[in-house]
A and B are shown apart, each in its own frame.
Chain A
Amino acid sequence: MKRFAQLLELLALTPSRTRKLAALKQYFREVPDPDRGFALAVLTGALTFRNVKPALLKDIVLREVDPTLFAMSYDYVGDLGETIALIWPHHGQEGELPSLTDLIELFNTTSKSDLPRLIASLLTRAGINERWAVVKLATGALRIGVSARLAKTALSEMSGVDVQEIEEVWHGLKVPYLDLFAWLDGKAPRPDIDQSSRFHPLMLSNPIDEEKDLSKLDPRDFSAEWKWDGIRVQLVLGGGTVSLFSRTGDDIANSFPDIVENVHGRAVLDGELLVGKDFEARSFNDLQQRLNKKVASAKHLKDSPAFIRVYDMLFDGREDIRTLSWTERRQRLEQWFAANPQTRMDVSEILPFNDWEDLAQQRRQGADEHGHEGVMLKLRSSPYVPGRPKGYWFKWKRDPNVVDAVLMYAQRGHGKRSSFYSDYTFGVWKGNEIVPIGKAYFGFTDEELKQLDKWIRANTLQAFGPVREVRKELVFEVAFDSAQESTRHKSGVALRFPRISRIRWDKPASEAATLEDMAVFIGAT
């Protein structure tokens, strides 16, 4: 465990990517199986424990520490795991902790009732750094600036195997990755993964820059579709088995039994999960209700049935068609649908257009009349490439709505921003008072964040724990994708995807928007 704790600390504190990679390579080279495999699982977020959760850790600490002092400390530190590691009041004789493998085994096999005692004893025996590592491991939130991609890059550099090849087998592998390391060490062939029955990393799009990109692109080379406002999913149909993955590869089948039980065939499909009856997509808000539930309720299944609007195909039956062009894949997709009629899936329609001006016109109309988020452009000749390759797929979002709102409250951020007031609640006028319409925590530069932080400290009216109420004097231009009626906010309005587009240091609060101004946005969606 000591070695792993050292690795975590070094990764957390070394800003240099090169040095992080060097540390990872050295660790994977020197540490034996299965410890290194478990470490890889921790770093890539592939490990979860059934009974060891942040809430359990917090309970254990609150048996030893006054809850008020804990809350004040957490507010100051801004990271639950780190707060627990720092505040633990007992320091026994520093003993040898179990190895990473044994520790994970203990977390998995210890009964729920014995876990508090086990964890308390580990925390007491550990030195400060190991305590931090144990807590990080147990809470699962590492926050050390290492992505799964960086870990895989280290494996690639260590072995000389291309990182794309590692990605290809990744989702079929099991912790602690013995076959992967054997392959990378040159001691075994590439792991044999059934390619048609697992998650495949998705192909993503780049935002289009209207001024720079469009003039260079030939409209005849591209196909256009609506950009659907749901969640991106991958449906893996194994002819009898069904898996439904989110864009990050999480299995979300449990939340959508209405889809899983009603799809047929053998293929790997890429599409958008939406809710609505008769393939009439409803707002993201309605979908959100279902996403929040681990298990779908009968009411949801009846009132908000889910369906998938499919726009691409990765495997046709067992055949990997990702190297074919978009045009060929689209043809295969349509043929497959003809042969496998579906009740919970349809195919995303193609939007015919003559030139960019024509498409821009359709895009505006779609936004105004149907609330469409924008259009997707896909190069007809493009293969299906995981990641975000340049030049193949573009998203052309509609222009955002903007409103001038007044800053009301600021809250300290977490993690990297824990010393800054970086989360902002803003509102608009309702008669003589300002009522909140939303909250945003990005859309500004680090330099602006510093200025805002300073302004907030100088203009605080009252502090409630981590929240400060400020003078209602600073105006933000807030951009958002859509507005909806809401019972949660006092204003009765909720914004979708709000972000600060400009800080209007120049604008007096009296000129900010009113609640009446918001009505037009609600009408539009």
Chain B
Amino acid sequence: MPQPILDRDLHIRAIDAFIDPPVPRERAIITHGHADHARSGHGAVLATPDTIAIMKVRYGEDCAGRFQALPFGEPLQIDDVTITFFPAGHVLGSAQVLIEQGGQRVVVTGDYKRLADRTAQPYELVPCDLLVTEATFGLPVFQHPHPQIEIGRLLKSIADQPERCHMVGCYALGKAQRVIGLLRDAGWDQPIYLHGAMIRLCELYQELGVDLGELIPATGMPKAAMAGQIVIAPPSAIRDRWSRRFPDPVVSQASGWMSVKQRARQALVELPLVISDHCDWGELQRTIHDTGAKTVWVTHGREDALVYWCRTQGLEAEPLNIQGFEDDGGEGTEE
């Protein structure tokens, strides 16, 4: 293909703007509110209204010099470049960025998933010439089960051990609200208890129109009242002293990493729930085909395997080793 309109550090030359830059920049386009994509300290931020609301709650009202909100599907013309956001289905407000210039179409996916999720705007396929895709679960060992199967396992565990409290480790942005939504869909209509770190973002989701049912702060509840209940907490808290206030807690965690039992064991997770907000291997492959892209850049995750696979499909592909992103382990990464 001709010289791409995007550099390998996700810099759009013509308008001097960076997508999800790891260091403060004059102009930043932010795909979604997770910490490895949205950082504070940029001059100007272009993002969806939901993402801007999330950034302000997480980092403060003045976490960027100024904000410009761009709703999904509305093209923004800057000189001869057009920027359009399309839903990525990852968390509330998460966007793919379509960049058009001189007839060239480039899509930066940010993080995305294709499975329906009522706490995020549903993914839309965007055809393009160059696709910059994430690869968090870019290995064929990642074949995510349907999330309701996993929620079923949680509910069965509660029914089997009604005397214990179930603590589900979830990242505060996205995963927590998704798990709550899935529980509601599965018919769990009792209050769900929250660790303090979860409260503000759950409130924000509800303000933005996502119904999560009755949520109660877990701190301060009498121990006996928590038997048979569900507590949503950050993964770090469920193995910490904080969890001792609950009756004989079952340590659970909702994450795509949980499919690897040895990893779950290592993290002392007794009930791993394989619930991911990213594409699994099959969905990554399907998306690359569906977009019709002839060139694929791979970032954020197991780049090697996806690049290798793309090449076996006759596509041009290369890994982007974006500085500031740890290539390995992954458990610390929000998803």
Contact = CB atoms under 8 A, between A and B. Distances in A.
Contacts of A253: none
A13 B265 CA distance: 5
Interface stretch (B24-32, B75-83, B197-205, B255-263): B255-263
Interface string A46-75: 000000000000000000011011101100
Q: What DSSP secondary structure best describes chain A's contact surface? A: helix
A120 interface: no
A77 B142 CA distance: 10
Interface in B301-335: 302, 304-305, 308-309, 312, 326, 328-329, 331
Interface stretch (A232-240, A374-382, A412-420): A412-420
A132 B266 CA distance: 17
A76 B302 contact: yes
A423 interface: no
Contacts of B143: 86
**What interface size band does chain B fall in?**
20 to 34
A379 B312 CA distance: 68
Given A13-B261, A68-B308, A419 B266 contact: yes
B331 to A, nearest CB: 7
A73 B262 contact: no
Contact of A419 (B139, B140, B263): B263
A31 interface: no
Interface string A270-302: 000000000000000000000000000000000
B326 A13 contact: no
Contacts of A473: none
A197 interface: no
**What interface size band does chain A fall in?**
20 to 34
A254 interface: no
Nearest to B141: A86
Nearest to A145: B265
B259 A86 contact: yes
Interface in B132-148: 139-143, 145
A139 interface: no
B265 A12 contact: yes
A59 B309 CA distance: 20
A167 interface: no
B35 interface: no
A416 B265 contact: yes
A83 to B, nearest CB: 6
Contact of A76 (B141, B145, B264, B312): B141
A145 B261 CA distance: 12
Interface stretch (B62-70, B269-277, B291-299): B269-277
A13 B157 CA distance: 14
B266 A89 contact: no
B305 A143 contact: no
A132 B140 contact: no
B141 A457 contact: no
B268 interface: yes
B262 A418 contact: yes
Nearest to A9: B261
Interface in A74-92: 76-79, 82-83, 86-87, 89
A322 to B, nearest CB: 38
Given A69-B139, A72-B139, A419-B329, A12 B145 contact: no
B305 A72 contact: yes
Interface in A1-49: 9, 12-15
B262 A13 contact: no
A13 B141 contact: no
Contact of B302 (A68, A72, A86, A128): A72
B134 to A, nearest CB: 16
Contact of A132 (B145, B261, B309, B329): B261
Contacts of A419: 263, 266, 328-329, 331
Given A9-B261, A13-B261, A419-B331, A72 B271 contact: no
A13 B264 contact: yes
Contact of B141 (A66, A87, A415, A416): A87
Nearest to A128: B145
List 9 tightest A-B contacts by C-beta distance, closest first. A86-B141, A73-B141, A72-B305, A87-B141, A419-B329, A73-B139, A87-B140, A79-B262, A13-B270
Given A14-B270, A143-B262, 19 more contacts: A13-B269, A13-B271, A68-B308, A69-B139, A72-B302, A73-B139, A73-B141, A73-B305, A76-B302, A78-B262, A79-B262, A82-B261, A83-B141, A86-B142, A418-B263, A418-B266, A419-B266, A419-B328, A457-B326
15 contacts: A13-B270, A69-B140, A72-B139, A72-B305, A72-B308, A76-B302, A83-B141, A86-B143, A143-B262, A416-B262, A416-B265, A418-B262, A419-B328, A419-B329, A457-B326
Interface of A: 9, 12-15, 65-66, 68-70, 72-73, 76-79, 82-83, 86-87, 89, 128, 132, 143, 145, 415-419, 457
